[in-house]
């Protein structure tokens, strides 16, 4: 075998000039190196550079230290179990870690990715040795939007063989996102696998649609080609997603083994997806037993006229008359939508609904770290 590998690698080296070094040096440790004390050590070879910075998540850029051989390093303080993004700035040029194949995209920014886990406090975003669900990217027909569009669908471990029916969580992304956002940045499959396996959540299907009605699927997945993802969409919070949402529910309930009833149907979303969840559920008070607003946008665009956004207060009262099993609102103290959410809660309280919704306030702002936490908290409460 060794001879076969050697021959093959030699040939590959000849065929792919200069790639060989990278293809060979990876051990099983991955990068960065995470110590037993949960300190992360970052390393990059840049002998000719004058300055190398580490950009770690949303922290300030950190100066790395040059070794005599031109290798730059930095070691963090112990990190909390979580997932982290980073890149290097080598004399100002953004560089991913060439020793780390794992990346995460946020709109048009790609960063290197790593996970810090801890046996004593397992990180729900890490992959654990538990039964794994299926992740599918599926195209459905939307008669309302007159096109086919893509969904990401998580079905829990055992779906294929169990023959049973499952409840469904519809989980919506924010602006700048698409049907891959909750999967990649939200780590939905890892979260659901772990919560279900440890009995913290019930087995459920999670449907992650694309909330941008002017695109069929995530950038790169349509005939538009490998375009640059952007926040900006021609159609945006103008009612089309809400009014076409039943196409998704109908398609799922026709083609998946689901429990098609209000008490087995949940809807939640972050930012624009929270806005979608708010108005979709308020306009269809008989449809969703569980609603989750994660850092939700509340106020419609001033330049949009749509019956969907009118008489919200009255619709909400009607919705609560139908006794949703859970109405969950989560937001960070530093979120720029905090005040809007406060006003929304005041409106609920004014209508004597204070005891009828769950409020979860976290540190931090409008960020994935919070939305992952909210997903964990919210999905634990579903379908019980």
Which string of x and - marks every residue 191-230 that binds a second copy (by CB under 8 A)?
--------------------------x-xxxxxxxxxxxx
Nearer to a second copy by C-beta: 78 or 122?
A: 122
Closest approach, Cβ 322 to a second copy, in A, equals 30
Among 201, 237, 270, 308, indicate the residue that binds a second copy (CB under 8 A): 237
Q: Is 81 in the site for a second copy (CB under 8 A)?
A: no
Pick from 192, 173, 182, 186: which is nearest to 134 by CA? 192
Nearer to a second copy by C-beta: 58 or 323?
A: 58
Q: Is 98 in the site for a second copy (CB under 8 A)?
A: yes
Among 106, 118, 247, 253, indicate the residue that binds a second copy (CB under 8 A): 106
Q: Is 164 in the site for a second copy (CB under 8 A)?
A: no
Q: Is 99 in the site for a second copy (CB under 8 A)?
A: yes
Closest approach, Cβ 354 to a second copy, in A, equals 28
Q: Are 98 and 22 in contact (CB under 8 A)?
A: yes
Q: CA-to-CA distance for 112 and 10, rounded, in angstroms?
A: 29
Q: Is 55 in the site for a second copy (CB under 8 A)?
A: yes
**What CA–CA distances, in Å, run from 291 to 6, 133, 262, 331?**
57, 23, 11, 14
- Residue count, binding to a second copy (CB under 8 A): 109
Which string of x and - marks every residue 251-280 that binds a second copy (by CB under 8 A)?
---xx---------------x---------
Nearer to a second copy by C-beta: 64 or 284?
A: 64
Nearer to a second copy by C-beta: 43 or 351?
A: 43
Q: Are 308 and 239 in contact (CB under 8 A)?
A: yes
Q: Are 333 and 361 in contact (CB under 8 A)?
A: yes
Closest approach, Cβ 264 to a second copy, in A, equals 20
Among 41, 80, 148, 314, indicate the residue that binds a second copy (CB under 8 A): 148
Which string of x and - marks every residue 331-360 that binds a second copy (by CB under 8 A)?
---xxx------------------------
Binding to a second copy (CB under 8 A) within 169-188 occurs at 175-176
Phi, psi of 277 (to 5 degrees): -65, -40
Q: Are 199 and 379 in contact (CB under 8 A)?
A: no
Q: Give residue 55's region: left, alpha or beta (phi > 0; psi -120 to 50).
A: beta
Pick from 384, 295, 367, 282: which is nearest to 84 by CA? 367
Phi, psi of 105 (to 5 degrees): -100, 135
Q: CA-to-CA distance for 366 and 271, rounded, in angstroms?
A: 8
Closest approach, Cβ 285 to a second copy, in A, equals 26
Binding to a second copy (CB under 8 A) within 275-294 occurs at none
Q: Give residue 352's region: left, alpha or beta (phi > 0; psi -120 to 50).
A: left
Q: Are 291 and 326 in contact (CB under 8 A)?
A: yes
For residue 381, count CB atoms less than 10 angstroms from its CB and return exposed for 0-12, middle for 13-18, buried for 19 or more: middle
Among 38, 62, 66, 107, indicate the residue that binds a second copy (CB under 8 A): 107
What is residue 115's three-state secondary structure?
Answer: strand
Instruction: Choose one: 74-82, 153-161, 285-293, 371-379; the region binding a second copy (CB under 8 A).
Output: 153-161
Nearer to a second copy by C-beta: 325 or 369?
A: 369
Instruction: Choose one: 12-20, 283-291, 320-328, 345-353; the region binding a second copy (CB under 8 A).
Output: 12-20
Nearer to a second copy by C-beta: 263 or 342?
A: 342
Strand partners, 104: 111
Please list, in sequence order, all residues whose beta carbon lies within 8 angstroms of the beta carbon of residue 31, skipping any fewer than 6 positions away.
Answer: 42, 43, 97, 99, 100, 112, 114
Binding to a second copy (CB under 8 A) within 296-325 occurs at 297, 301, 303-304
Among 134, 144, 246, 306, indicate the residue that binds a second copy (CB under 8 A): 134
**What CA–CA distances, in Å, run from 124 to 129, 130, 365?**
12, 12, 21
């Amino acid at each position: 075998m060794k001879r076969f590998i050697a021959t093959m690698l030699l040939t590959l080296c000849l065929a792919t000039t200069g790639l060989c070094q990278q293809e060979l040096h990876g051990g099983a440790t991955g990068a960065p190196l995470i110590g037993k004390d949960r300190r992360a050590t970052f390393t990059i070879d840049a002998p000719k550079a004058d300055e190398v910075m580490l950009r770690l998540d949303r922290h300030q850029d950190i100066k790395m230290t040059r070794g005599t051989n031109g290798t730059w390093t930095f070691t963090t303080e112990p990190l909390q179990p979580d997932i982290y993004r980073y890149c290097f700035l080598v004399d100002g040029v953004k560089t991913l870690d060439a020793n780390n194949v794992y990346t995460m995209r946020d709109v048009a920014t790609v960063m290197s990715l790593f996970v810090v886990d801890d046996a004593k406090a397992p990180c729900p975003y890490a992959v654990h040795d538990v039964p794994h669900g299926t992740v599918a990217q599926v195209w459905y027909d939307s008669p309302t939007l007159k096109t086919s569009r893509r969904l990401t669908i998580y079905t829990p471990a055992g779906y294929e063989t169990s023959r049973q029916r499952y409840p469904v969580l519809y989980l919506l992304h924010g602006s700048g996102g698409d049907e891959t956002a909750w999967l990649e940045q939200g780590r939905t499959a890892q979260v659901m696998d772990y919560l279900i396996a440890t009995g913290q959540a019930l087995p459920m299907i999670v449907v992650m649609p694309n909330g941008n009605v002017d695109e069929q699927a995530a950038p790169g997945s349509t005939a538009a080609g490998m375009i640059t993802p952007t926040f900006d969409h021609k159609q945006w919070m103008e009612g089309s997603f809400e009014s076409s949402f039943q196409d998704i529910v109908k398609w799922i309930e026709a083609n998946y083994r689901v429990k098609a009833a209000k008490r087995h149907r949940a809807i939640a979303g972050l930012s624009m997806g929270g806005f979608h969840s708010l108005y979709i559920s308020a306009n269809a008070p008989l449809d969703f037993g569980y609603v989750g607003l994660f850092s939700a946008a509340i106020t419609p665009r001033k330049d949009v006229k749509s019956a969907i956004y009118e008489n919200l207060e009255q619709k909400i009262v009607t919705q609560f008359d139908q006794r949703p099993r859970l109405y969950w609102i989560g937001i960070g103290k530093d979120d720029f939508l905090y005040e809007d959410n406060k006003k929304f809660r005041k409106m609920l309280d004014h209508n004597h609904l204070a005891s009828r919704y769950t409020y979860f306030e976290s540190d931090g702002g409008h960020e994935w770290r919070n939305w992952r936490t909210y997903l964990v908290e919210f999905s634990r409460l579903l379908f019980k």
